[in-house]
Amino acid sequence: MAPPDDAARADLRRHLDGLPLPTHALGRLEEVAGWLAACQARSPARPPAAPRVVLFAAEHGIAAAGVSAFPATETKARLDAVRSGTAPTNSLATVAGADVRVVEVGDGPSGRIDREDALTEAGLQDALAAGVHAADEAVDEGADLLVPGELAVGVSTPVAVLAAALCAREPVAVVGRGSGIDDIAWMRKAATVRDALRRSKAVGRDPEGLLRVVGGADLAALVGFLTQAARRRTPVLLDGAAVCVAALLADARSPGARAWWLAATRDTEPAQALALEVLGLDPLLLLDLRAGAATGALAAVPLVTMAARVAAGS
Residue 69 in domain: yes
**For residues 2 and 213, what is the distance between their CA atoms, to the nearest angstrom?**
30
Number of Cβ within a 10 Å radius of residue 20: 5
Question: Exposure of 23 by Cβ count < 10 A (0-12 exposed, 13-18 middle, 19+ buried)?
Answer: exposed
Residue 235 in domain: yes
64-83 residue pLDDT tens: 888 888 888 888 999 999 99
From 279, 284, 313, select the one nearest 301 (Cα to Cα): 284
What's the whole-model pTM score? 0.96
302, pLDDT greater than 90 = yes
Residue 67 in domain: yes
**For residues 43 and 102, what is the distance between their CA atoms, to the nearest angstrom?**
33
178, pLDDT greater than 80 = no
Question: Exposure of 121 by Cβ count < 10 A (0-12 exposed, 13-18 middle, 19+ buried)?
Answer: exposed
Using CA of residue 238, residue 243, residue 247, residue 253, what is the dihedral sign? negative
Say if residues 8 and 307 touch (Cβ distance below 8 Å).
Answer: no
256: CATH: 3.40.50.10210
267, pLDDT greater than 90 = no
Residue 116 in domain: yes
111-131 residue pLDDT tens: 999 999 999 999 999 999 999
Residue 27 in domain: no
Residue 24 in domain: no
Residue-level pLDDT at 313: 81
Alpha-carbon distances, residue 143 vs 108, 134, 275 (angstroms): 30, 11, 26
Residue-level pLDDT at 314: 62
Give percent above pLDDT 70 in the chain: 100
Listed in sequence order, the residues at least 6 apart from 26 whose beta carbon sits closer than 8 Å to its beta carbon are: 16, 33, 307, 310, 311
Residue 247 belongs to domain spanning: 51-301
For 171, phi then psi, to 5°, come to -55, -40
Residue 15 in domain: no
Residue-level pLDDT at 225: 98
Residue 14 in domain: no
Mean pLDDT rounded to a whole number for the chain: 94
Question: Exposure of 41 by Cβ count < 10 A (0-12 exposed, 13-18 middle, 19+ buried)?
Answer: middle
Task: Count the domains in the chain.
Answer: 1
6-21 residue pLDDT tens: 999 999 999 998 888 8
Give percent above pLDDT 90 in the chain: 82
